[in-house]
Amino acid sequence: MKFCAKIDDGQYMREFQNIVLTLSKLTKECVIIIKKDKVHFIANEESGAAAPLVWVEIDAKLYFTNYIMEGHSDDNGSTIMLAVSPIHFSRALSSFKLNARNCKFKLIHLQFPCLRTETEVLSQSSGEPRQIVHDVPVTLIPRNEWDYYDLPQIPRAKLIVKVHSNNLLRGLIDKLKNISPTLKFAANSLGDLNLVAKNEMATITTCFKNLEVRTLDDESQQEDIKVECSVDCKKTSLFFTALQVPTSELSCGIDDDRLIHMEINVRGGVSVHSILPSVCV
């Protein structure tokens, strides 16, 4: 089993660090699935926990200039599966803020498996390059346990709306969580999205108009489609609060009374996903 990779671009390094930092705010342990062409992170706490299901997809050719992996073969090609603490991993990547030039990742074995990060930074005093090395403990997930960590599939939502005010949505939901335990997303094919929170004293509705809409079937675009789904408000707020990636656009897929699928496109080939299951109101 072998894995090594390198990031040379400073902006990609900061984005990668922010992705890991986002995961560290959601879970104590995440799974990294390394394939020939993609790297996935999956964060999901134990059933019933407050954190939502979140996963990240990264095109390996986009971030990494040097990317070598040799893992176990399965039906989908060669794969390496690791479990790691995103908190420890994010601390290892904190040196990216110190005028970092590049970073190398390598799977090594000391007394236990580790993911080594070697960051080259320029000294502020002398301007000379120096290496900062961190060894992050990981757990190699054996082949016979891979079925427990299947990559989530993007659900086929009946209606998808794109919200451009991501920061506004984050602040709004953070305030609504103190008003109602549930939050209803209601949208239609005309580009309207309503967020509804209610308690015994009041009902608060926030309206977004003229949003870009995509339907499940192209043939149904002429129809007036309406969908709605109520989700846990604190789970939703936790997802938005944890986001550290720079983005201004969010795709929200709503499947009637079943789930809501959130997708943040960091850039082409890099995306953050979350599934919020419906709750009974």
- The reported pLDDT for the residue numbered 128 is 83
Number of domains in the chain: 2
The one-letter code for the residue type at 210 is: N
- The reported pLDDT for the residue numbered 214 is 84
Q: What is the pLDDT of residues 116-146, one digit of tens each?
A: 999 999 877 777 888 999 999 999 999 999 8
Residue 154 lies in a domain: no
Q: Are the CB atoms for 23 and 86 separated by under 8 Å? A: yes
Other Cβ atoms closer than 10 A to 4: 16
Residues 219 and 106 placed together within one structural domain of the fold: no
Q: How confident is the model at residue 156 (pLDDT cuts 50, 70, 90)?
A: confident
d(CA 32, CA 42): 7
Residues 189 and 114 placed together within one structural domain of the fold: no
* pTM score, whole prediction: 0.90
Residues 166 and 110 placed together within one structural domain of the fold: no
Which spans in 52-165 are helix H? 60-63, 86-92
Check which CATH number belongs to the domain holding 85 and give it: 3.70.10.10
Other Cβ atoms closer than 10 A to 230: 21
Residues 180 and 51 placed together within one structural domain of the fold: no
% of the chain with per-residue pLDDT over 70: 93
d(CA 58, CA 71): 18
Domain span at residue 259 reads: 159-277
Residue 168 lies in a domain: yes
Residues 228 and 126 placed together within one structural domain of the fold: no
Residues 93 and 47 placed together within one structural domain of the fold: yes
Q: Are the CB atoms for 69 and 3 separated by under 8 Å? A: yes
Q: What is the pLDDT of residues 238-271, one digit of tens each?
A: 999 999 987 767 899 999 889 999 999 988 899 9
Residues 223 and 195 placed together within one structural domain of the fold: yes
Q: What is the pLDDT of residues 11-46, one digit of tens each?
A: 999 999 999 999 999 999 999 999 999 999 998 665
